[in-house]
Chain A
């Protein structure tokens, strides 16, 4: 009898707790500045599997959660290509990851990703987060959402989280290139000044 009472009490507590779960709780999860990132193994549009550990020469990474369908992501495509063209040779390649579920967003299917990568001439891997396991680890909530990682003895450490720059609408009107500033600082052995920024994006589906 007592066991049943205890079980009921525990169950009640669980129900009450789950009812009061913070609406924004999902935003608290994911990597913070200074965290070490777990490696992943995701399929690229060329059919090959990509992991961070395969980049022996890299000093770090510009990980961009992006997709085919989000208008903000599309406005940043040229700038993502430019980032890779500028920083791949300096040891900070772009790794693009498509986090959406293609059954919800047909335009983000693996086939559509291949076509997009080809037509836009992506010079970097464009990976599909097929099981939707990697983006929650990072805590990415939207596209585009950028994580700059620095390779250290501890592993790949998060040094910047946020937007690419401060004007989605007009690349020529940008006054702060957040990602470039972060990578430049890391290349010079300095501390990143602006470690986190916010921007409107399409919620990951």
Chain B
């Protein structure tokens, strides 16, 4: 247990002071505690219950919010993810915010989700939603949502539209443009 705290302490120093990075190599860290890898210190994943997450659906900040529900195990989600990335790149300076909400299983955050975000170099903000009582929150995202993913919400202040299904880039951009004026 003490070794574990030692490892956390080392990680703390590692993240605070890059110049001292050569003091502790990842290999040494692994030998202290094999569950602490260098990746964990690089990527912080925000995980929300639905109550905590709901604020992302109700911002009244005049921006257009594009919120995509996806998971690494969902093939059609992975296929359309680059379109959301492209949208983010093209419109992030035009008052548009893209948020990718992962519904991956919590026990796969480390082995599947984080490596995916790193390897695909995802630039849009990614958060995880972990709330198993789905029937309580799915209708709050979209009354028409059957629960299949991908699913997307686009909103600006009180104008909101829900989409269940896949987009092409031009379909996504067409929908976004309805919110831009």
Contact of A202 with B73 in the complex, beta carbons under 8 Å: yes
Interface residues of chain A: helix, strand, loop or mixed (majority): loop
Closest to B150 in A: A203
Asked, given contacts A24-B144, A27-B144, A203-B76, whether A162 binds B135 with beta carbons under 8 Å apart, the answer is yes
Whole-angstrom distance between the Cβ of B81 and the nearest chain A Cβ: 15
* A142 in contact with B148 (CB, 8 Å): yes
A71–B75 Cα gap in the complex (Å)? 12
Residues on the B chain within 8 Å of A27, using CB: 144, 146, 164
Q: Mark B71-105, 1 if CB is under 8 A from A, else 0.
A: 00111100000000000000000000000000101
Q: Are B134 and A200 in contact (CB under 8 A)?
A: yes
Would A202 and B163 count as touching, CB distance under 8 A?
no
Closest to B142 in A: A24
- Tally inter-chain residue pairs, CB-CB below 8 A: 76
Query: Does A173 sit within 8 A of B, measured CB to CB?
Result: yes
Interface residue count for A (Cβ, 8 Å)?
Answer: 28
CB atoms of A23 and B134 under 8 A apart: no
In this complex, what residue of A is CB-closest to B69? Answer: A200
Contact B138 A200 (CB under 8 A): yes
Cβ 8 A contact of B132, one of A23, A141, A173, A197: A173
- 10 residue pairs bridging A and B, Cβ less than 8 Å apart: A24-B163, A27-B146, A141-B148, A163-B134, A166-B132, A167-B133, A168-B132, A170-B132, A200-B148, A201-B148
Give B residues with C-beta under 8 Å from A.
73-76, 103, 105-106, 132-136, 138-139, 144-150, 162-165
